[in-house]
Structure 1
């Protein structure tokens, strides 16, 4: 009898260990995506200025400059123009066109994922200011460089919007769709992600997708070679098209504040 009890105890212990052992699910639990977990990044140095250096510049700027308008995003936002100054600004003229003379702060960070923007918002980049409008354009690096799927981008964007709303409950939010890329293997994922982003347009969030204005005529979903410098980042002509689409809605959303 003692032998049977010991044998049963041993088998029970092995069974319990098997149940408790973590399963390999590529860093994602059943209800948690890495795109929702705030984290810093070290993927890019901005002309000698680190990611954390740029973050510190923004915190200092917020003590002095009180913007009406904030752009939050990745390198597509970072390299457009504006303050804090990027090491490779592309087109100041279209930046001014889009912003309609408003005081603006650029919270674009090259190579950022959605979760990096969440960290930045949690750590003060919207503190001490009261913008009328926050324009968000991020997620392309999650799809492209990181390899996230559209659902992960949607979950991350929900988390980011929640953080923005906590920090700026009175601000309006303009959420932009992800722009087309030369990597056409990502075209379906971009379309799906933008469809998911559009479903988040509620409670003070407006969604705008300007992809069609950036396509190569007759070759959608390929982006126009005349509007992009490297297949991902717009050139001056591309930013001019973006500004033309953004300016009226930025004016509308900020004037009715």
Structure 2
């Protein structure tokens, strides 16, 4: 009987000699959030990584970098709640933008990608960075460790792209577990404090108000409950993600030095 592969096989091998964690809920190796982790053993991930390398040629003025929430910008329906392409075209279609979202990626996987070609040939005006949701799931690192991972990513972005402005979006609220909710709030407080005292190349936006009412996360703002079978609310609907794009647009237009898109 074939057994399901252990979680570490599905979400990448730890580089640089780090220990392998045993699965969701188990203690993660110290510092895993800040260490580069490859997922090239996953065929779909390898194929997407190589395809994105081919996109990163020529003029690239904007990078959207993140996990499945960013990758969802490429969805085209057929249902309206997962037809993200119209909003992408409206806000980013004329900005020479590349979508570097990879389903399941945590800070460690993104760090590996950035170190292996995603920043080699580009000089974008701006980067939109949304990462960290999977740290609370797949690799199970808390707010402090996830914050450290995002700090390493920001440092690398500025080292490799010193003239690029970064728009950092706080991890979006979700309805997964009380532990995830508490750590999401703590992480976003840390990111806000860090950005407030950081150089002008970092801007921070907390998009939680789009997804909450009176402090309560609204399941209707997410497409996961509409799937069959349903999943816990984590990924915004196309309509919610369009509102996210509208929320960050004035700041992004300022960072890019172009006009506000509507």
Which category of TM-score, normalised to the shorter sequence, fits these structures?
Answer: 0.7 to 0.9
1:195 to partner: Cα distance: 1.0
Structure-1 separation of matches of 2:237 and 2:152: 30
Unaligned runs of 5+ in 2: 1-25, 76-81, 225-232
1:55 to 36, 39, 49: 49
Offset at residue 81 of structure 1 (A): 2.5
Conservation of the 8 A alpha-carbon contact between 1:226 and 1:238: no
The 1-side partners of 2:220 and 2:71 are apart by 20
TM superposition shift of 1:132: 0.3
Decide whether the 8 Å contact of 2:127 with 2:167 is kept in 1: yes
Q: Deviations over 1:106-149 (max 9, x none)?
A: 01000001010000000010111110000100000001232110
Instruction: Give the conservation status (yes or no) of the 8 Å contact 1:181–1:232.
Output: yes
Q: Distance in 2 between matches of 1:168 and 1:153?
A: 22
For 2:7, the equivalent position in structure 1 comes to none
Q: Choose the corresponding residue for 1:233, options 208, 218, 235.
A: 235
CA distance in 2, matches of 1:168, 1:90: 32
Decide which of 241, 246, 252 is 1:250's aligned counterpart. Answer: 252
- TM superposition shift of 1:184: 4.4
CA distance in 1, matches of 2:40, 2:255: 35
Q: How many residues align?
A: 215
The two structures have a TM-score, normalised by structure 2, of 0.76
Tell me which of 109, 116, 140 is aligned to 2:102: 109
CA RMSD of aligned residues (A): 2.1
Name 1:208's counterpart in structure 2. 205
> Per-residue deviation at 1:100?
6.9
Displacement over 3 Å in runs of 4+: 25-29
CA contact 2:84–2:238 (8 Å) conserved in 1: yes
Question: Displacement of 1:26 after TM fit?
Answer: 4.6
Structure 1 pair 253/163, CA: closer, same or farther in 2 (3 Å)?
same
In structure 2, distance between residues paired with 1:27 and 1:210: 28
Q: 1:247 to 1:27 in 2, by over 3 A?
A: closer
1:40 lines up with 2:38 in the alignment = yes
Asked whether the equivalents of residues 72 and 106 of structure 1 are also in contact (C-alpha less than 8 Å), the reply is yes
Report the 3-state secondary structure (helix = DSSP H, G, I; strand = E; otherwise coil) of the residue aligned with 2:150: helix
TM-score when normalising by structure 1? 0.77
Structure 1: stretches of 5+ with no match in the other structure: 1-24, 83-88
